[in-house]
């Protein structure tokens, strides 16, 4: 008799990203993997997400900002802003710049 709860494809789909990133703990992890081992569409989804996660990890070392970028950016923000509104505006620009680099 199998006492473990059955995972549906919808439940698997909801948690597939966390599973691929290793954010699911036991026993839920085993239940999701057991479902994927018997369900080709979910297995394909998990493999695809795993591939994306692996590629992102491989890209991570290439995304390091140049040496001194952080200290220069913080120094510029600290010296060019005085009011809260201006500081917020500069923070948005800094966030946009970082997003472009990434
Ligand atoms: Zn499934």
- What is the whole-number distance in angstroms between the Cα of residue 14 and the centre of ligand 1? 11
pTM of the model: 0.51
Residue list, CB under 5 A from ion ligand 1: 9, 39, 42
- What is the whole-number distance in angstroms between the Cα of residue 58 and the centre of ligand 1? 28
Domains and CATH numbers, the chain: 9-59 (1.10.10), 69-101 (no CATH)
- What is the whole-number distance in angstroms between the Cα of residue 4 and the centre of ligand 1? 16
- Tens of pLDDT, residue by residue, the chain (102 residues): 445 568 899 999 999 988 888 889 999 999 999 999 999 999 999 988 888 877 777 776 666 777 888 888 888 777 765 555 555 665 666 776 777 666
Neighbours of 2 (CB within 10 A): 6
């Amino acid at each position: 008799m199998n006492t473990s709860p059955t995972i549906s494809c919808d439940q698997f789909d909801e948690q597939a990203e966390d599973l691929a990133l290793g954010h699911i703990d036991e026993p839920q992890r085993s239940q999701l993997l057991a479902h994927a081992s018997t369900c080709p569409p979910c297995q394909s989804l998990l493999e695809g997400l795993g591939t994306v996660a692996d590629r992102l990890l491989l890209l991570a070392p290439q995304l390091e900002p140049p040496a001194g970028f952080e200290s220069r950016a913080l120094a510029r923000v600290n010296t060019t802003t005085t009011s809260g509104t201006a500081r917020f505006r500069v923070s948005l620009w800094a966030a946009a710049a970082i997003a472009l680099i990434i």
